[in-house]
Amino acid sequence: MTSSFSLYAPRASRYHDLHPLTKLAISAAIMIAGAGLGGVWPAFAVFFAVALPLAIWGKVAISLLRAVWPIALPFAISLFLIRGFIWPGGTIIATLGPISLKAEGLEFALAALGRIVAMVSAFLLLSLTTAPDALMLALTERGFPPMIAYIVLTTIQIVPRFQARAATILDAQRSRGLETEGWLPRRLRALLPLVTPLILSSLVDVEERAIALEARAFSRVGVKTSLLVLRDTPFQRTARWLIVVILAAVMGLRFVPGIAP
């Protein structure tokens, strides 16, 4: 699986050797816990105590951090500016001309940023440690309709596919003399020659992939064989159920009076 079609980073780690459904359950738990737990710090705790140690175990921590912060930083800036200064009422901690920085706005921005970091890191952890074809095979072996499994696979691959195609189009347009750097008006003028080929090539790619799938009997009904063999263990199957039970219990605490944050 090449980097052009997925974020998968092959490593010799025990986390990579886990069954794809086990890693999917872990990432789903990180995502749900990070997004569902209340308060400011629980989502950050999920990231630093669960997602990051697992990334270190899988030897993809550096790749995960490099991908998380460029995504989270624009959200952080907008959240702190919008929610910090534009908050109805609240406790003023600083004043800048006619606007004031509110403590409640900063608290909301921190909580939202933590949820974004936890959710993005969960997706990246799954993408970096799980080959898309292995995940698709694991889902179909468990009875998922092939179309649903393919949608999951496409969702994981869509970002790196768009990045690779956009980089190719950008290089091609630059070789034709298109100026893509400099002042903002110049960059805006270069946007249309970049976006139009990207959209058209994406539509062509969809058709080509559909033809390739049909050539491989994708819609055929019946038992199919695969050269890829996935090994599951009773321990991992039990662990997946424990993850579901523990996650349900933790989320249920939010509805217990006196415990919910």
Count CA atoms within 13 Å of residue 207 on its CB side: 5
Asked if 9 contacts 129 with a C-beta cutoff of 8 angstroms, the reply is yes
pLDDT mean over 196-210: 75
For 45-97, write each residue's pLDDT tens digit: 999 999 999 999 999 999 999 888 888 888 888 888 887 778 777 787 877 77
Higher pLDDT, 61 or 42: 61
Q: How high does pLDDT run on average in the chain?
A: 80
Position 35 confidence tier, pLDDT thresholds 50, 70, 90? confident
Domain residue limits, the chain: 10-130+231-261, 143-222
Q: For residues 254 and 251, what is the distance between their CA atoms, to the nearest angstrom?
A: 6
**Going by C-beta distance under 8 Å and a sequence separation of 6 or more, which residues neighbour residue 50?**
30, 33
Distances (CA, A) of 50 to 44, 57, 59, 121, 123: 10, 11, 14, 10, 13
* Percent of the chain topping pLDDT 90: 24
In this prediction, residue 257 carries a pLDDT of: 57
The string of pLDDT tens digits covering residues 105-159 is 888 888 888 999 999 999 899 989 998 888 888 888 888 777 777 777 777 766 6
What predicted TM-score, i.e. pTM, was given to this entire model? Answer: 0.75
Residues whose CB falls within 8 Å of the CB of residue 95, separated by 6 or more in sequence, listed in order? 101
